[in-house]
Amino acid sequence: MKQRDNKALTLKTLNKSNVWDLQENDIFRLWEAAEKDADLKDSIRHYIDIVKSAFDLEEVKVDKPEIIKKYEARGFKVGMLRMDESTKVKWAVKKRPILRVTDLTYENIHHISTSKLLEVIDRNFGGGWDSLSQSIQDIIESGFDISTTTLPKDRLRKPGGMYEKKVQDGFDVLEITKGMWVEAIFAKAKPEMERPHLSLESEDFDDEEDLDDEDLPEIEDNYNNPDDEDDDFDEDKLTEESYRTTFETNPEDLNFEAENISDDYED
């Protein structure tokens, strides 16, 4: 996956997607850097909710060495987080592991490696790609190109076959044995595209007067221009040839029998 610069992130720019790029020490570092911001107190609940989307976050209510050691034994990092101007609270922070396919989300799918993805799929009871729900498949395919094939063991790696071509194209492979057959799941990370976003803020168009006619692009009206109208039209060019029918035939070839003409049309 794409390597990101975690040092460029701040608490204000943190969201439920890029928070997955961080580790426990990064949370304490960002929080400490934001302590001088006057609006930290007003937005603190918002920041905690973002952190909790990717981390287990527990307040250490009993600050004793033996309690801290228990948290650390469970993989937590313990440190101080300022809750307001005068209060600091000790918190235990631990990155949520992605172990099962149900741990995958649209927010974290771009933040795991291909090998990690295939490891998670392999843990899904060995059922293969079709054993995943459609919603999980959609999440995975939002971040990875996926292809599958199921072949007899002796044919899976046939030279010039799909397996060889996919590996040469940079795909990782998970092989799932199904009796005498093997399902191969090929995965390759998609480049993360920047989502276009259109800002229509009210201050940009506070008043209709802001839309000056001089700022609008001029559209040339060639359709209703009287100077150009009928320039190519010449009545002298209208000849009998202009009205010639495209249906040419000999009248004698038209077999109109007199008896087929109704008496209603006789003079």
pLDDT, residue 125, reads 72
Q: Which amino acid is at 120?
A: V
pLDDT, residue 87, reads 77
If DSSP codes are grouped into helix, strand and coil, which group holds residue 117?
A: helix
Counting as low any pLDDT under 70, the low residues of the chain are 1-7, 38-39, 84-85, 193-267
pLDDT, residue 190, reads 93
pLDDT, residue 122, reads 92
CB 83 within 8 A of CB 40: no
Closest CA to 107 of 56, 143, 145: 143
pLDDT, residue 7, reads 61
Closest CA to 108 of 5, 42, 26, 22: 22
CB 72 within 8 A of CB 50: no
Structure tokens at 184: 């191969």
pLDDT, residue 140, reads 97
Closest CA to 85 of 45, 44, 48: 44
pLDDT, residue 224, reads 46
Closest CA to 92 of 28, 33, 31, 16: 28
CB 21 within 8 A of CB 111: yes
Q: Which amino acid is at 109?
A: I
pLDDT, residue 260, reads 47
Burial of 216 (0-12, 13-18, 19+ CB in 10 A): exposed
Give the dihedral sign, CA 20/21/22/23: positive
| Residue whose token pair is 């039209």 | 233
Q: Where are the alpha helices (DSSP H) in the chain?
A: 24-34, 40-52, 65-73, 114-122, 134-141, 153-156, 162-168
Kindly report the pTM of this predicted structure.
0.65
Pairing label, strands 181-189, 144-152:
antiparallel
CB 50 within 8 A of CB 69: no
